[in-house]
Amino acid sequence: MAKIRSHKDVIIIGAGMAGLTAALYAGRMNLSVLVLENGIIGGQIANATGIENYPGFLEVSGSDLMSTVQKQAEKFGAEIDEFDTIQKVSLKGSSKIVETEEHMYDTQAVIIASGMNRRRLPLPEERRYAGKGVHYCELCDGHRYEGKTISVVGGGNAAVDAANFLTRYADRLYLIHRSQLRTDEVSQAALRANPKVKILLETEVTALHGEGWLSSVDLIHKDTGKTENLAVDGVFVNIGVEPNTALFEGELSLEEGRIPAGEDCRTEIPGVFAAGDVRKKEIRQLTTAAADGTTAALLAGQYLEKLGRNRFHKYLI
């Protein structure tokens, strides 16, 4: 069956904070905007149970925050499609092509906001406890474990930083890693000096247990072969991330899986912008994702204006 062909002024790939913010701003410029999302609308943050570091909210759930941003984008005419999977993109020409299972879209401006995913804990019962004791965002969910026993799984800088952060809440904290720590000495020393912390190296989590909510984990100590069951209230997983950039291999240069783009979000291809966690940058937070989405949309508008396709310059000021 032939695919439906249509044109959009701007196509945004990804419906997380960066993508939806870009859609909001592009929609306000009266551009025709399509957001394509292969996963859930809202991205990773949609699963956060409590966010306390987003300006304007004392506390808000990830799902409520992202639902509000989605409604704002749709209010200004953005179309959001989360069911038509992208199969291929062609970005190098002046007219870019985004091909999905059912449609063939052409556009002059593409904003890539496909984000990244933290690697999931590779256990069959992980899904059962996701958000119910197994978490992937210490900034979002750590405060839920005030006075509790927390474990952090991972051994890189991000895991040790997460563990140091979580000691402000935990009564007891275990850092569990399958080999040796791969982190800077300062962060590692701070963790080792904390009396709340016990570091378990050469150790793997092999199973999760609990009635409705996580209550314990099974461990194997690889250096001795011994096993144990460890009572914990929450597990924070930090075993690496995977940028969602496979779709763009051969179209854009990638560095460590991410898209090189400056603070202006411009990539090497005119008319193609990268925003949010998929962009190679040092700081990745909800606020910086929103900033990227804003920047990418406004500069996409300027790009289209130069092509004679945007008559709404007043919105760029």
194-249 residue pLDDT tens: 999 999 999 999 999 999 999 999 999 999 999 999 999 999 999 987 899 999 99
CATH architecture group of domain 4-117+241-316: 3-Layer(bba) Sandwich (3.50)
Q: Is 161 helix (H, G, I), strand (E, B) or coil?
A: helix
269-302 residue pLDDT tens: 999 999 999 999 999 899 999 999 999 999 999 9
88-142 residue pLDDT tens: 999 998 899 999 999 999 999 999 999 987 889 999 999 999 999 999 888 778 9
| Token pair listed for 214 | 């996580």
CA distance between the termini of the chain? 45
Q: According to the model, what pLDDT value does residue 315 have?
A: 45
- According to DSSP, residue 249 is labeled B
CATH architecture group of domain 120-237: 3-Layer(bba) Sandwich (3.50)
Q: CB of 27 within 8 A of CB of 73?
A: yes
Q: What is the residue extent of each domain of the chain?
A: 4-117+241-316, 120-237
Just list the catalytic residues: 137, 140-141
Nearest one of 58, 55, 37, 36 to 46, comparing CA atoms: 37
Q: According to the model, what pLDDT value does residue 160 have?
A: 92
Q: CB of 43 within 8 A of CB of 17?
A: yes
Q: According to the model, what pLDDT value does residue 309 have?
A: 61
DSSP annotation string for 227-270: EEEEE-SEEEE-S-EEES-GGGBTTB--BTTBB---TT-B-SST
136-192 residue pLDDT tens: 888 778 999 999 999 999 999 889 989 999 999 999 999 999 999 988 888 899 999
Beta bridge partners of 199: 175
Q: How far apart are CA 175 and CA 162, in angstroms?
A: 10
AA identity, residue 145: Y
